[in-house]
Amino acid sequence: MLETTNWDLLDAYQRICDEAGHSMLTVSIAWLLWHEPIASVIAGATRPDQVTQNAKAGSTAVSADVLRAVDELFA
């Protein structure tokens, strides 16, 4: 079960993404790829539009400052 603090973390994560102008999906995939030696992300999809969203998210540049903020948030 998600504790209140986990919901607070998700709210803070949403704010980081909103301020950066990116979706949570885009930042999540970018954050995963930012960590070496990760070279790819296997993202699930059940609808064709999700495949498109995942591909777009994986090719969108997210600043290192945003990725560091995510690192700090979930450290």
Find out whether 12 and 73 touch, Cβ atoms under 8 Å.
yes
pLDDT digits (tens, 9 = 90+) for 12-47: 999 999 999 999 999 999 999 999 898 899 999 999
Euclidean distance between CA atoms 17 and 62, whole angstroms? 10
Distances in whole angstroms, Cα of residue 12 to Cα of each of 6, 24, 63: 10, 11, 17
pTM above 0.75, yes or no: yes
Q: Where are the domains of the chain?
A: 4-73
- pLDDT 10s digits, 65-75: 999 999 999 98
CB atoms within 10 A of CB 59: 10
